[in-house]
Amino acid sequence: MRKLRKKAQKKINKYTRALNKNLLEDNLWRGRFYVHQVDANWEEFEDGSGGELRCWIEIRDKKTGLYHGFEVSNYGTGWKLFEAGNNFIVQDSGVWDDIDAVKNDTTDWTKVKWRPVKEVF
């Protein structure tokens, strides 16, 4: 089972890195948002044929300090990460409330450290 867990973790890491790279290279966000894994739990199937890796992921906004946590598993990870990231940026963080401020902000967020303020539910 150790090999299966490792394979599942690699899959989640791959999608997380891809999303972070996309956010980092985006001309509008320039690394303002990033995603990382906080915790993971391996659950074996009852019949011993495999298992499911459930991970707690957070997406963070470096400008406001807001963050949102959500759960993903090694099944459907890519879409779930994209959807949660998109929902956080578009709906939960309030970024689009002032679109002109977003467009005029030229801060390079890759050099800024994240400071937590509060979690968005």
pLDDT tens-digit map of 27-49: 989 999 999 999 999 999 989 88
pLDDT, tens digit (0-9, with 9 covering 90-100), for 57-100: 999 999 888 999 999 988 877 888 889 889 999 888 888 888 88
Per-domain residue ranges of the chain: 2-119
Burial 42-51 (b: 16+ CB within 10 A, else e): beeeeeeeeb
Q: And the tokens for 49?
A: 């044929």
Neighbours of 19 (CB within 10 A): 20
Q: Which of 72, 3, 17 is nearest to 40 (CA)?
A: 72
Rounded CA-CA distance 18/120 in Å is 23
Structure pTM?
0.85
Q: What sign does the CA torsion over 113, 73, 68, 106 have?
A: positive
